[in-house]
Copies of this chain bind each other. A is one copy, B any other.
Amino acid sequence: MIPVRHCLKLVPLCSQIRHGSRMFPQLKRGSFNRITDEDVNRFTGIVGETGIKTEELDHYNTDWLNTVSGFTELVISPKSVEEVAAVLRHCNERRLAVVPQGGNTGLVGGSNPVFDEIVLSLERLNNISHIDPYAGIVECEAGVILQNLSDKVGEHGYTVPLDLGARGSCFIGGNLATHAGGLRVVRYGQLRGSVLGMRVVLPDGQILDGRSNMRKDNTGYDIKQLFIGSEGTLGVITDVSLLLPQSPVSVNMALLGCDSFDDVIKCYRLSRQCLGEIVSACEFMDSLCMTSVNDILGLASPLENSHKFYYLVETSGMNMDHDMEKLETCIEKVFESGCATDGVMAASKDQARHMMSLRENIAPALKAVGFNYKYDVSLPIQHMYSLVEQIRNKIRLTEGAFSVGYGHLGDNNLHLNVITPHYSAQALSLIEPFVYEEVSRLKGSISAEHGMGLKKANYLRYSKDPSMIAMMRSLKDVFDPNGIMNPYKLLPWND
């Protein structure tokens, strides 16, 4: 057991190295034109002065983790789909590279510039156009913050079929462009299944209008699916219609302490069996995660003792009595089977929120103590934690380094994080490409929910067959023949 309380140390954010494109010294700027005053005048003519920013652009240039940053000198914020189209048309004609940006909460360096790409911010395209209270459908623009969307549809008895820690900052358009996963996939399925319609602007300014509020629509190729998860490399999502599940009447939660990852798996399987259709989150974390949020953020564990692993299960249903009975039966079975040694059920909404906040604050806590090497992988459940142990073994001699594992157990989604006091190329070389080789060997995915961005793009081959990568390039050429959309992201740039 690593004495975590000693190795975790708060490092002021300003001392973090901002690597920008220097993290990849071999990456060269593409042959795009540079922005001229004439371009800026043209853009100002399209979006107005309030839609143009040329100063104090740090927030747009740097990722949430403070690990990569570019040096754009121009941020454009259109107010309508037509303005997006006019901006892109000019960029395309002038061969100016563009990064579409939502809440800039991505973790793979996909949403900020690498060099001087123009940032096309969706922040002013934030209208919730319509909520159909009978059909349970919301139409909104891409720049709506997830929390705002959730609050608004909540007033009508619905919930968004997506929830994640960044809800207060991330935009629904960015969620779609990166196909964000999060906590509710185990209940509501992948986000793409809830998207009914979408409007997208292509780099040449063409508006692909696929707006629809129909739950079933088998009229030709479902092109919007290509844009979901394309990370802004094919076009810009401007509008979306989402199918909304009803807000649950009762939400319950339990946190269990386990002695081994095998026991966590047993808890998970029992909970799926007992809870069936009301399961809405199945999360796990290791002891280092728990001590991180306890020590760094001062969030207390509701369990008296510490445990090697924690399993958090949430239910959401329409009948409090039924749901509680199911959860109690589940907990009984868990203890009968001996796969948990301790556990608590939330007795109030506040307690439930606190339990979930322990899980959700792992990333902010880790961000505060050093440089984060983040791996977001899918693996067969039985292999999920052994990867963390392998990496832990590899970095054991690196000073101040430690690794943690947590994630969405119900989706086989492991978040493996390595933290060092400062960025270390040597530490990185211990982790990569080993981590990708292992995931590939186990037929996992090297990006479960974060996407490829800048950081993972060159590793695409570990998860995708050459035939698939070649086809992706063909499709990129169809939609963005000049390659101006979010260059250096998603597709390998080192070949």
Q: Which residues of A pack against B, CB within 8 Å?
A: 134-135, 178-179, 181, 185, 188-190, 192-194, 206-210, 212-223, 225-226, 228-230, 234, 246, 248-249, 269, 272-278, 316-319, 322, 325-326, 378, 380-381, 408, 411-413, 443-452, 456, 460, 463-465, 467-469, 471-472, 474-475, 478, 490-491
Contact = CB atoms under 8 A, between A and B. Distances in A.
A241 to B, nearest CB: 11
Nearest to A450: B218
Contacts of A207: 467
Contact of A193 (B189, B246, B322): B189
Contact of A217 (B210, B218, B222, B445): B445
A467 B463 CA distance: 32
A204 B465 CA distance: 17
Contacts of A213: 380, 443
Nearest to A208: B467
Contact of A185 (B134, B179, B216, B413): B216
A222 B222 CA distance: 11
B381 A215 contact: no
B223 A229 contact: no
A381 B134 contact: yes
Contact of A223 (B181, B217, B475): B475
Contacts of A325: 322
A471 B223 contact: yes
A159 to B, nearest CB: 12
- Smallest CB-CB A-B distances: 4 pairs: A276-B318, A193-B193, A225-B225, A214-B378
Contacts of A465: 208-210
Contacts of A219: 445-447, 452, 456, 460, 463-464
30 contacts: A135-B381, A135-B412, A189-B189, A189-B193, A192-B192, A208-B468, A208-B471, A210-B468, A212-B445, A213-B380, A214-B412, A215-B411, A216-B408, A217-B447, A218-B448, A218-B451, A219-B445, A219-B463, A220-B464, A220-B491, A221-B226, A223-B226, A246-B272, A275-B318, A276-B319, A277-B317, A319-B322, A319-B326, A322-B322, A322-B326
